[in-house]
Amino acid sequence: MTPPVVTTVADLRAAVAAGRAAGRVGFVPTMGALHAGHAQLVRTSAKLCRFTVVSVFVNPTQFGPTEDFAKYPRTLEADRVVCGEAGADLVFAPDAAEVYPAGSATVVEVPGVSDVLEGPARPGHFRGVCTVVLKLFNMVQPDVAVFGAKDAQQVRVVKAMVRDLNVPVDIVVEPTVREPDGLAMSSRNRYLSPAERAVAPGIYRALQAVRSRALAGEWDVARLESALAAALAAIPGGRLDYARIVDDATLQPMARLDRPALAAVALSLGTTRLIDNVTIP
């Protein structure tokens, strides 16, 4: 059944209060344009909780001046169908004025973990993410919130915010959902031309190769990063932003693989910027 849509915080809280009577409340924050990866997050929430809310809100504060806010896909009716099939009970689709009332000035930042990888490339992005996620947590007041591992840095930033500000929500992280050829599912994949889509799986193959090399005994991070960058540079038409292997918890640089690590990359094909990652135990 297609879940109902509410657009105001007052209606959201009334619906959540009724749903909470049945048990725990789960929450999946999204910007819409939902795909099978989002559906997996919703299914996980529905398994863990009796009432699941999915937010559909294209957050203007996490887009930079040269990014794709205006053309970001808005597909609410299709998103409702995805939510219903995955087990969501309610869709919260506010407008910007509902989330950011006139005069809103408070922002939330998590220094350190926000300042690496995506941080330099997208100034202010994680400030926007943290601010809207905390606002949504306060609006929904969920017991559980489910995120995807593809946005590895976002997950770590949100976890740090929840810890530092004593937010009473459990963060659950689901593995990245991939296309059959390995490309990580993303709302931005629809921007790829057929030629770009054909070569995009090379990103995951490069990550898999460097992970295999590490597990085979190569522990020198500089050599691993060099091999990763070389594999990504071989993708036709690709423009590499970064290829890093960092501490899995803090995202800070490391010299040797003497603790769990994250191999993270950002690469553009045409006008589409793709990110992906794998963990290295």
**Residues tagged active-site:** 38
**Tokens read off for 234:** 């071989």
Write down the H helix ranges in the chain. 9-20, 36-48, 76-86, 96-99, 118-121, 125-140, 152-164, 194-199, 202-215, 221-233
User: Whole-angstrom Cα distance, residue 106 to residue 273?
Assistant: 29
Half-sphere exposure in the Cβ direction for 107 (13 Å, CA): 12
Which of 41, 18, 71, 58 is CA-nearest to residue 272? Answer: 71
Dihedral-angle region of residue 213 (phi above 0 means left; psi in -120 to 50 means alpha; beta otherwise): alpha
